[in-house]
Structure 1
């Protein structure tokens, strides 16, 4: 599909998991608001990923950006995606998070040049993830499933279940999303205007390990330049598919952040532009 002037760019960070991306793209096709392009930001160059995207029959225009696999360089990949984006409003997700059908609607509906929008995600248990992947549970029925099986999903390893419940803002419970706040960003569920990320010079490529540099580091830098963080909790809902997670120590990343905070370096040196 051709969309000469998309109103938003959905940037999806991926590494090697084509199977999960396939499920994510199915949820993208269900979006109620559709005036956006899709950018697959791949931190690597997987032939299987390339083949899948070449044969993907999508109703959205898709850009696929790759780079040599030299270890974790997600921030570099994200900066390249920002430069390639055709839209001014940029939405970021990860390639293992399925989207509620109204996810993009709220990321654009509440967009504001002076605000950073952030939501969270439910971490599904293995059984519910498989049911979603196999189509046994339509994404539109997830509210009912989460409420009905809240204890079961939690007992089986699901986390942050309250974040997986979409609340209609014009309904009787519409006051709840307005009450919920965000203190930090999740790199898998955030959006902002191009001018905002330009102002802090993009993602800091000084970080060479996952986490902190791709989201937490952004918050204090955005706020240091006067941007405010707006919550999309229970509006821009997403479902994190179950997989084994490899936790790494964060001391190195935290030290980088603390060092920059000490000198109030809101505009990073190694970002969209190299200073």
Structure 2
């Protein structure tokens, strides 16, 4: 089977420790990414120094920065889309570690005119600390999922059902993927670059987390005739625990922006990759 050439875009902010676990996973994929872009919403010396230590391991690794001017992930991601060299884009967050089959699962489910939407399995605090202390790897959890499952549930893991892996296009996967997909989960999704350009990328009007990085592009894709399809339990990621970083108030601000744009049927955003003068 011939797969599209892939660029994986990792959204980061200063957390070099979590990025290290992600890169360890990307070094051991069943189908390696053709390009890796670390898209930093900021410009920290710690991240620059860490990336420099990874260049020999990943010659196809590109690190993009921008001024640290508060949350502006959408701008950083648009920069990464423009810089990407390949036809197929896979998006993850810098606190989410992919399973070993992650890239392959996205690539073998890829279709033009379709956005693939994955989920995330969220580790609890104690298991996250075990991973960070290198007592346990994400690969260990992937391989012995059912062994660790009751202990992870006891550690307040969230969405453990999304840690299960099934082969793409299998009978079980087809049944799972019949379910309606409401919107993208911003830490695990993919699409052809040409499809994203049809909606002008991420809307940079959003200057706060939530809505603008996942719900907003979802309805705009649909407005342009691009459908959302599940790749749940094929392309799996494991989210490392951390306290919640944004409030409901921020979500309300973004919802107001989104509802205004929806009322205008603004599927092609004005403040995206191309700026409307």
TM-score band by shorter chain is over 0.9
Q: Does 1:13 align with 2:14?
A: no
Could you give the per-residue CA deviations for residues 151-199 of structure 1, whole angstroms, max 9, x where no partner exists?
A: 4323322101101111234767455544444221011101111111111
1:189-268 matches, cutoff 5 A: 189-248=188-247, 249=249, 250-268=251-269
Measure, in 2, the Cα distance between the counterparts of 1:73 and 1:221.
20
Distance 1:172 1:60 in 2: 38
1:50 matched to 2:48: yes
Is 1:22 aligned to residue 23 of structure 2? no
User: What stretches of structure 1 of length at least 5 have no aligned partner?
Assistant: 1-5
SS of the equivalent of 2:22 reads helix
TM-score for both structures, normalised by structure 2? 0.91
Provide the rounded CA distance (Å) in 1 between the counterparts of 2:106 and 2:59: 17
Shift of 1:35: 4.5
- From the superposition, tell whether residues 167 and 144 of structure 1 become closer, same or farther in structure 2 (CA, over 3 Å): same
Using the alignment, how far apart are the partners of 1:52 and 1:18 within structure 2?
7
Matches within 5 A, 1:33-72: 33-56=31-54, 57-72=56-71
Counterpart Cα distance in 2 of 1:72 and 1:170: 38
Unaligned runs of 5+ in 2: none
Is the contact between residue 72 and residue 204 of structure 2 (CA under 8 Å) also seen in structure 1?
A: yes
Q: Could you list the per-position Cα deviations for residues 70-97 of structure 1 after superposition, in whole angstroms to 9, with x for gaps in the alignment?
A: 1011000000000000001111001110
Maintained 8 Å contact 2:38/2:64: yes
Q: Distance in 1 between matches of 2:74 and 2:170?
A: 39
After superposition, residues 107-256 of structure 1 pair within 5 angstroms as 107-143=106-142, 145-169=144-168, 173-248=172-247, 249=249, 250-256=251-257
- How far apart are the structure 2 equivalents of 1:142 and 1:149? 7
The SS at the match of 1:203 is coil
State the alpha-carbon separation in 2 of the partners of residues 225 and 190 from structure 1: 18
Please point out which of 29, 32, 35 is paired with 1:31: 29
TM-score by length of 1: 0.92
Aligned residues: 270
Look up the SS of the partner of 1:259 in the other structure. helix
